[in-house]
């Protein structure tokens, strides 16, 4: 069904849980799937990601993609995270996601982008359409 990496991260996502110390949290839901995810971000003074975690009621692909994505952005500039979309997730996991699960695969990314918008106070709110072209 999925490759070994996906299965590993979905069963034992290392960054699942609530960060003891975070600056911003954000909740998103994939209404078509019923996936529900919250991210927690700790942000450095130079506007890079210091730490990231998530929790939620998520399917295999959502859990794995969120977890792998979260690990990959530690140290990344907030502005750079805001440029990432589905293609970034596909590169990370090394396989394309079926069209019916594309939104699920970017739920962690979408929630993180919106958490950053909230942190920056830029009044932007991204949607799945911004990430999955």
Partner 1 sequence: MNIKSDFPIFKNNPGLVYMDSTATSQKPSYVIEGIKQYLENYYSNIHRGSYDLSEKSELLYEESKKVIAKSIGASSWREIIYSFNSTYASNLFIYSLKRSNILKSGDKVLLSMVEHHANIVPWLILQEDLGIEIDYVGLNDDYSLNFDDLKKKLTPNVKLVSFTHVSNITGEIFDLKRVGKILDKQNERPLFLVDASQSIPHMKVDVKDLGCDAMFFTGHKVMADSGIGVLWGKEELLKKLKPIFSGGGAISWVKKDSFKEAGLPDKFEPGTPNLTGAVSLLRAFEYLENIGGYEKVLEIEKELNVEVIKKFSNIKGVKLIGGINPSSRVSVFSFVVEGIHSHDIADYLADNNICIRAGQHCAEPYMRELGLNHTCRMSLYIYNTLEDVNKFFEVLEKAIKILK
- For partner 1, the binding residues (CB under 8 A) are 1, 31-36, 57-62, 101, 104
Compute the least distance from the CB of residue 125 to partner 1, in Å: 20
What is the distance between the alpha carbons of residues 118 and 25, in angstroms, rounded to a whole number? 9
Other beta carbons less than 10 A from residue 117's beta carbon: 18
Closer residue to partner 1, CB minimum distance, 57 or 87: 57
Closer residue to partner 1, CB minimum distance, 57 or 79: 57
Compute the least distance from the CB of residue 31 to partner 1, in Å: 7
Closer residue to partner 1, CB minimum distance, 12 or 32: 32
First-residue to last-residue Cα distance in the chain: 24
Compute the least distance from the CB of residue 109 to partner 1, in Å: 18
Compute the least distance from the CB of residue 54 to partner 1, in Å: 15
From residue 60, how far is each of 9, 20, 35, 101 by CA, in Å? 8, 25, 10, 10
- Phi, psi (deg, nearest 5) at residue 72: -75, -20
């Amino acid at each position: 069904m999925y490759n070994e990496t996906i299965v590993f991260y979905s069963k034992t996502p290392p960054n699942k849980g609530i960060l003891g110390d975070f600056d911003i949290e954000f909740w998103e839901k994939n209404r078509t799937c019923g996936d529900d995810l919250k991210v927690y971000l700790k942000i450095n003074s130079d506007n890079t990601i210091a730490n990231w975690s998530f929790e939620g009621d998520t399917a295999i692909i959502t859990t794995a993609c969120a977890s792998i994505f979260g690990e990959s952005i530690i140290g990344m500039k907030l502005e750079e995270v805001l440029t990432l979309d589905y293609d970034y997730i596909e590169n990370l996991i090394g396989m394309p996601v079926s069209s019916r699960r594309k939104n699920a695969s970017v739920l962690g990314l979408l929630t993180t982008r919106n958490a950053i918008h909230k942190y920056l106070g830029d009044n932007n709110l991204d949607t799945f359409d911004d990430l999955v072209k």
